[in-house]
Amino acid sequence: MRIEIDFGSSSGNLRRAVLVTLPVVAIAACLWFFGGPILETCSPFALAFVLAYLLSPVVDWIAGERRGRLRIHRALAILLLYLGVGLSIPMVLAAILPRIFAEGAEFGRKVSRDYLPALGAELRPRLEYWFSAKSLLENGDFTEWNEGLPIDWEASEDARCFPLDEDPPSGLRVSPAVEEQAWVLSQNLAELPSDSTFTLAVVVREATSEVHGWTVALTSDQSAATSFAWRSPIPPAGGLRESVYIPAEVERALFSLEAEPGAGEIRLESVALLQPPPLPFFQPGYWTGVYEEYRHLLTWSNLSTVFTYGAKGAGMVAGGAGGAWAWLSARVGGLVSLAVYVALLCVILFYMLLDFTAFKQGCLEVIPEKWRPRAVGFASELDRQLGGFIRGQAMVCLSVGLMVTFFLLILRVPFAIPIGIAAGCFNFIPYLGPAMGMVPAVTLTLLEFFDPETTANWVLIKLLLVLGSFMVVQAADGLLISPKVMAKTVDVSPLVVMAALMLGGGIAGVTGMVLAIPMYCLLRVLVGEYRREIRDEAGSAGPES
């Protein structure tokens, strides 16, 4: 059956409009209803087309399309290109990865040996002062971590020590020697656990008058071979809670309470060295005590209840294991899907490169003959803008990556090669590469402040050199490389590139990001052709009127 559409005696404009509109409406409807599957199916073909467009000049050069002699078949040229890429990638990885792994191992050793201990020694007293010390006081009373009021004090001459007027006494009332500035009370701390951090807590019973002129101190015992001294004044509020680190070499220390001349009386409620209690599980008799305390709960009904809920818990664990297996299967399946996708992409790319010239000729033959000159001009302008931008930006990215790698290798910044590669890749968005590479380089340089073999002055100089090198790269990119390279190609604003990549990624993911710049160049050429058509029509209509 043949369907004919009668347009009457009107002109052919309506017929042409219908013939143009129907395919557009059909394509739009298919994309509306089946957009997801269509994009998923066409993504390898679209990506292969972009790669074929970029690699076709390389294949032409290998095949010798423009040479009179030494020409080879195009299929052999494509295979040689595949072979070159397949050999180049392992060779580059073999040259780069050992250095990266060696730098990673050395950096890991520095982190575990130098950076983390130094950072811990710097932060541990502050953290213990902020958290541990504050949690030891509850409603004005010490918890069970309190070691109690020290006994066997040794007082200096003329020092007066009396119990507080309570029954039972819970502190001391201390008056110093007025004539001297010396210790008032002292006590040896035998078998002090060294290489530990304690919270020294001095609590004053009454704060009716300001406490001034009193100091607590920890010093090495006279018999100790290693000198150690720490002291801190009691604040006017009447209490002191300070975090004190005892070095590993100190085994015995002397605690003392000192007063300046003219210091008034102080009423101490407690003086304690506090530390987190040891884990009770390893204490002798702990499990025996637990058994004696809870043996009345070991009945058959309780055991059956425990077994019942244990079975339910085992089922939950099995369900979790099944979820983990599903996650692992999904990851493995994703890797297999990626491998299949890459293999399919290589096959499609091979056939597109093989028939790329015929493909272009076929596309040209579809266009009506009277429109072919304009179509050829349109395609040439699109090729100039798109190809020029991609080739120029690739050269700029390569230059930025090499410069960043060169400077970081000279300054001996760890992971210089990966940072340079990342800076070059990010520079596809103009001027973003040096900024993205500067963040890890500066961070790795700042970590050297914790290296005991490096002085702070040298680290500061190195930090300034790293910042200066990125400023040099940024200036060279903005003032020399990009203007020289892009002067021969299309001028695309960095903001437009960023917006196009974000929009393409939001619409179609990675495929959308790959096609974002080509689509922008296509729309730009279309708008240029439309404006040229409007100007031509306005120019032709002017003389007639």
- Read off the pLDDT of residues 61-72 as tens digits, 9 standing for 90 and up: 888 776 666 778
The pLDDT of 408-414, averaged and rounded, is: 90
CB 218 within 8 A of CB 244: yes
Mean pLDDT of the 12-31 span: 70
Burial of 129 (0-12, 13-18, 19+ CB in 10 A): middle
- B/e letters for 487-497, b = 16+ CB within 10 Å, e = fewer, are eebbebeeeeb
Q: What is the 3-state secondary structure (H, E, C) of 298-334?
A: CCHHHHHHHHHHHHHHHHHHHHHHHHHHHHHHHHHHH
Compute the distance between CA of residue 453 and CA of residue 8 in angstroms, rounded to an integer: 94
State residue 102's pLDDT score: 86
At 404, is the pLDDT very low, low, confident or very high (cuts 50, 70, 90)?
A: very high
pLDDT > 70? residue 44:
yes
Residues whose CB is less than 8 angstroms from the CB of residue 156 and which lie 6 or more positions away in sequence, other chains included: 177, 180, 182, 183, 184, 185
Mean pLDDT is lowest, of 131-140, 174-183, 428-437, 507-516, for 131-140
Q: Which residue has better confidence, 541 or 172?
A: 172
Comparison of pLDDT for 238 and 91, the residue scoring more: 91
Which has more confidence, 12 or 184?
184
The encoded tokens of residue 189 equal 């701390």
Query: pLDDT value at position 149?
Result: 42
Between residues 340 and 153, which one has the greater pLDDT?
340
Query: What CATH number matches the domain at 146-275, 2.60.120.260, 3.90.1300.10, 3.40.50.720, 1.10.10.10?
Result: 2.60.120.260
Give, as one character, the DSSP assignment of residue 279. P
Average pLDDT on 6-27 reads 64
Residue 284 has, within 13 A of its CA and on its CB side, a CA count of: 0
Nearest to 195 by CA among 249, 146, 150: 249
For residue 276, count CB atoms less than 10 angstroms from its CB and return exposed for 0-12, middle for 13-18, buried for 19 or more: middle
CA distance 166 to 175: 18
The percent of residues above 70 in pLDDT, for the chain, comes to 67
**Lowest-confidence range among 86-90, 325-329, 394-398, 440-444?**
325-329
Please determine, for residue 400, whether its predicted confidence score (pLDDT) is greater than 80.
yes
pLDDT: which is higher, 250 or 85: 85
Instruction: Provide the percentage of residues in the chain whose pLDDT is more than 90.
Output: 4
Nearest to 259 by CA among 230, 234, 240: 234
What local confidence, expressed as pLDDT, does residue 314 receive?
A: 66
Tell me how far apart the alpha carbons of residues 285 and 298 are, in angstroms, rounded to a whole number: 19
The answer to whether residue 500 scores a pLDDT higher than 70 is yes
The DSSP code for 295 is G
Higher pLDDT, 129 or 229: 229
pLDDT at 147 over 50: no
**Which range (198-207, 217-226, 421-430) has the least confidence?**
198-207
The model's pLDDT over 168-205, given as tens digits with 9 standing for 90+, comes to: 556 666 776 555 555 666 666 655 556 677 777 777 76
Per-residue pLDDT band at 467 (split at 50, 70, 90):
very high
φ, ψ of residue 337 in degrees (nearest 5): -60, -40
Backbone region of residue 143 per phi and psi (left: phi > 0; alpha: psi in -120 to 50; beta: other values)? beta
Which of 224-233, 287-296, 533-542 shows the lowest mean pLDDT across its residues?
Answer: 533-542
- The H or E element spanning position 506 is helix 494-544
Burial of 329 (0-12, 13-18, 19+ CB in 10 A): exposed
Domain extents for the chain?
39-100+349-540, 146-275
Higher pLDDT, 241 or 461: 461
User: Does the pLDDT at position 139 exceed 60?
Assistant: no
Contact indicator for 107, 414 with CB cutoff of 8 Å: yes
